[in-house]
Amino acid sequence: MKLMKRMTTLLCAAQVCLATLAGAAPLSITLPPETAVLKPNELPGYQLAQQKCSTCHSADYINFQPPGMSLAQWTAEAGKMQKVYGAPISDQDVTMIGAYLAATYGSAHTSDADVQAASNPTASQPPPAPVAKPDAMALLQNNACLSCHAIDHKVVGPAYHDVAAKYAKDPQAQTKVASSIQHGGSGKWGDIPMPPFAQLSPDDLQTLTTFILKQ
Ligand code: HEC
Ligand code: HEC
């Protein structure tokens, strides 16, 4: 099969060559069909381009672009399809397809750092979960609060349910309880002191206090 294709290409090339030599006017070249598909590449942008770049025109539009286009140029080309011609692709598709095209048809290489980064948009960014506010239960666990407290019964310290009840009518509950957690204290619930948690960030303190006062 490979050989057949190669022979076809050779034959065609020979014909073109002969035709040119003979000075035969307007060249009408029928290209072998394999140029109408996108060249494969291991980059994920290859799959995306196959799905999204052949709905309006054939891959020849891509095959016939001038060689040596940079990553920025190919990304701009994909971006033009999105913005000017209304191709239904996301910004991330543009970036990934641009990287595939630049590495396959342009001056970039698959192993280039910027091509790799553009092809793995999620790997280059930290996952969103840890950036989001940690949830109160995780904070209670990570700070060992639960070794002395439970939601609904007294352990060493008071039940959070009772803390919430005690402050239910206090308009300054949030400030007071946040301060109790941060600075620790004793005597409000008994003789055993609550250790200070000065290292908690204001955000975490906020989250913990709000959670406890809702119990
Ligand atoms: C919504 C339809 C549509 C989609 C989808 C689309 N294109 Fe195009 N594309 C066009 C139009 C329209 C032209 C201009 C046609 C013309 O000039 O004859 C074009 C032209 C091109 C050209 C020729 C150079 C130029 O700028 O005119 C290239 C290269 C190209 N497209 C690449 C792509 C790539 C890569 C994708 C996938 C990201 C894509 N196209 C998806 C509509 C589309
Ligand atoms: C070593 C045991 C211990 C640990 C760990 C602990 N506490 Fe306490 N906590 C106590 C004790 C004892 C009291 C009661 C202090 C008092 O009587 O004033 C208390 C009181 C509290 C109160 C009530 C404060 C008030 O103003 O009435 C809150 C709220 C509270 N703790 C939250 C937390 C949080 C949140 C953590 C984790 C960040 C935590 N505690 C970790 C022992 C602990």
Is the pLDDT confidence value at 15 over 80?
A: no
> Which pLDDT score, from 0 to 100, does residue 105 have?
96
What 90-98 contacts at long range (C-beta under 8 Å, 24+ apart), as own/partner pairs, is: 92/121, 93/48, 93/52, 95/121, 96/43, 96/44, 96/45, 96/48, 96/121, 97/45, 97/48, 97/49, 97/52, 97/53, 98/45, 98/71, 98/74
Provide the domain limits for residue 208: 131-213
> Which pLDDT score, from 0 to 100, does residue 123 have?
59
> Which pLDDT score, from 0 to 100, does residue 35 have?
59
Q: Are residues 98 and 150 in the same domain?
A: no
Domain boundary among 92, 125, 158: 125
Residue 72 falls within a domain, yes or no? yes
Is the pLDDT confidence value at 7 over 90?
A: no
> Which pLDDT score, from 0 to 100, does residue 54 have?
87
Residue 3 falls within a domain, yes or no? no
Residue 163 falls within a domain, yes or no? yes
Q: Are residues 98 and 82 in the same domain?
A: yes
Domain boundary among 125, 157, 180: 125
What amino acid is encoded at 13 in this protein? A
Closest Cα to atom 21 of ligand 1: 61
Nearest ligand to the C-alpha atom of residue 210: 2
Nearest-angstrom CA–CA distance, 138 and 143: 8
Identify which of 41, 57, 69 to mutate to test ligand 1's pocket (most ligand atoms within 8 A of the CB).
57
> Which pLDDT score, from 0 to 100, does residue 125 have?
54
Residue 6 falls within a domain, yes or no? no
Nearest-angstrom CA–CA distance, 170 and 8: 87
Q: Are residues 145 and 192 in the same domain?
A: yes
Q: Which CA distances in Å does 94 have to 56, 64, 190, 199?
A: 16, 19, 63, 44
Is the Cβ atom of 142 under 6 angstroms away from ligand 2? Answer: no
Domain boundary among 106, 125, 144: 125
Is the Cβ atom of 80 under 6 angstroms away from ligand 1? Answer: yes
Q: Are residues 173 and 120 in the same domain?
A: no
Q: How many structural domains does the chain have? A: 2
Residue 199 falls within a domain, yes or no? yes
**Ligand 2 atom nearest to 208, measured from its CA:** 35
What 187-193 contacts at long range (C-beta under 8 Å, 24+ apart), as own/partner pairs, is: 189/157, 189/158, 192/156, 192/157
CA of 57 from ligand 1 middle (Å) equals 7
Is the pLDDT confidence value at 130 over 60?
A: no
Residue 29: pLDDT band by 50, 70, 90 thresholds? low
Residue 25 falls within a domain, yes or no? no
Is the Cβ atom of 86 under 6 angstroms away from ligand 1? Answer: yes
Q: Are residues 115 and 142 in the same domain?
A: no
Q: Are residues 102 and 149 in the same domain?
A: no
As a whole number, the mean pLDDT across the chain is 84
Among 83-87, 125-129, 162-166, 179-183, which stretch is predicted with the lowest mean pLDDT? 125-129
Residue 15 falls within a domain, yes or no? no
Q: Are residues 137 and 176 in the same domain?
A: yes
Residue 85 falls within a domain, yes or no? yes
Q: Which position has the higher pLDDT, 3 or 119? A: 119
Identify which of 48, 56, 62, 74 to mutate to test ligand 1's pocket (most ligand atoms within 8 A of the CB).
56
**Mean pLDDT of all residues in 176-205:** 94
Q: Are residues 113 and 85 in the same domain?
A: yes
Q: Are residues 180 and 120 in the same domain?
A: no
Do residues 121 and 75 make contact, with C-beta atoms less than 8 angstroms apart?
Answer: no
Q: Are residues 108 and 43 in the same domain?
A: yes
Do residues 140 and 148 make contact, with C-beta atoms less than 8 angstroms apart?
Answer: no
Question: pLDDT per residue over 69-81, tens digit each?
Answer: 999 999 999 999 9
CATH code for the domain in which residue 77 is found: 1.10.760.10
Q: Are residues 140 and 203 in the same domain?
A: yes
**Mean pLDDT of all residues in 157-172:** 96
Q: Which position has the higher pLDDT, 32 or 100? A: 100
